[in-house]
């Protein structure tokens, strides 16, 4: 493993462990607690994570199984992913299933040869890219579970991976909205939970973004409305980006309404 993959996998494990601890003692009513995602309760959130981890393993190791998933997704592009989560959420042993899926995914990514990429619903992904994407989803869906259960969330510097993904997907966010990506780079300075400043882009860039990393990560995962963040955009292109930013593959969602 590269040092980067090792760190991402370590942080992914910590993020998953945090969510597992939160839900481990829930009774049936607790698992059925609604979350901010319409129609998704706590069980559905965890089921989605389990299903996606399982599918990632198939994508990396079993072409026939992966091709079958792709064909099913093509047959129902708008509802397939939700249907899988809703179905698994009603099966017994959900937490144990997700725990196994997490372990299987880690073993799969560790075993991938350096430089090899696996197919996915968007562009093919390296082991590090997949681990980063899984961390992003685990963190984001974990926010939904915390909010549904009324549990406070303390951000950690593990969200640096989410922030990096949010920055790297800038051009994708424009393209998925049918817009041309800006030609120039932005300067992005985000204050980490630890108080450090994380920066991307040239210092002399004319267009800039500043704010807290937590708010930026929530925005690019559509867990907060832009109006409820402390993010400050300087430049028309950055301003437009904050309206459409998304760090996840697929079509843009509706996002959250302002508080």
Distance from C-alpha of 182 to C-alpha of 11, rounded to nearest angstrom: 32
Residues of the chain with pLDDT under 70: 1, 253
Q: Give the pTM.
A: 0.94
Distance from C-alpha of 102 to C-alpha of 57, rounded to nearest angstrom: 10
Cβ atoms < 10 Å from Cβ of 230:
11
Distance from C-alpha of 164 to C-alpha of 11, rounded to nearest angstrom: 14
Least Cα distance to 45 among 57, 34, 58 occurs for 34
Strand intervals (E) in 92-250? 187-191, 197-200, 208-212, 232-234
User: In which residue are the tokens 């559905």 written?
Assistant: 44
What is the structure's pLDDT at 108? Answer: 98
Q: Biggest alpha carbon distance in the chain? A: 55
37 is written with which tokens? Answer: 């995602």
Contact 247, 220 (CB under 8 A): yes
What is the structure's pLDDT at 1? Answer: 62
DSSP character string of 50-78: HHHHHHHHHHHH-HHHHHHHHHHHHHSTT
Straight-line distance from the first to the last Cα atom of the chain, in angstroms, rounded to the nearest whole number:
43
Distance from C-alpha of 166 to C-alpha of 151, rounded to nearest angstrom: 25
Distance from C-alpha of 186 to C-alpha of 191, rounded to nearest angstrom: 16
Q: Return the DSSP state at 121.
A: S
SS3 label, residue 235: coil
Contact 213, 193 (CB under 8 A): yes
């Amino acid at each position: 493993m590269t040092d980067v993959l090792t760190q991402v996998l370590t942080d992914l494990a910590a993020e998953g462990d945090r969510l597992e601890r939160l839900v481990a003692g829930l009774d049936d009513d607790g698992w059925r607690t609604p979350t901010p995602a319409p129609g998704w309760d706590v069980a559905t959130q965890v089921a989605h994570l389990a299903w996606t981890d399982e599918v990632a393993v198939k994508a990396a190791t079993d072409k026939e199984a992966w091709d079958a998933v792709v064909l099913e997704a093509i047959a129902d592009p708008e509802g397939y992913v939700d249907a899988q989560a809703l179905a698994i959420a009603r099966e017994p042993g959900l937490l144990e299933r997700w725990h196994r899926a997490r372990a299987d995914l880690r073993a799969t990514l560790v075993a991938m040869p350096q430089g090899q990429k696996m197919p996915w619903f968007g562009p093919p992904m390296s082991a590090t890219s997949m681990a980063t994407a899984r961390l992003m989803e685990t963190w984001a869906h974990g926010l939904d579970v915390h909010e549904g259960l009324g549990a406070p969330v303390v951000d950690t510097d593990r969200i640096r991976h989410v922030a990096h993904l949010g920055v790297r997907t800038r051009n994708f966010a424009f393209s998925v909205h049918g817009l041309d990506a800006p030609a120039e780079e932005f300067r992005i300075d985000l204050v980490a939970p630890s108080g450090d400043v994380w920066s991307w882009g040239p210092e002399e860039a004319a267009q800039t973004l500043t704010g807290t990393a937590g708010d930026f990560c929530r925005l690019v995962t559509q867990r907060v409305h832009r109006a409820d963040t402390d993010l400050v955009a300087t430049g028309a292109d950055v301003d437009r980006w904050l309206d459409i930013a998304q760090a996840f593959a697929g079509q843009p969602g509706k996002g959250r309404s302002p508080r």
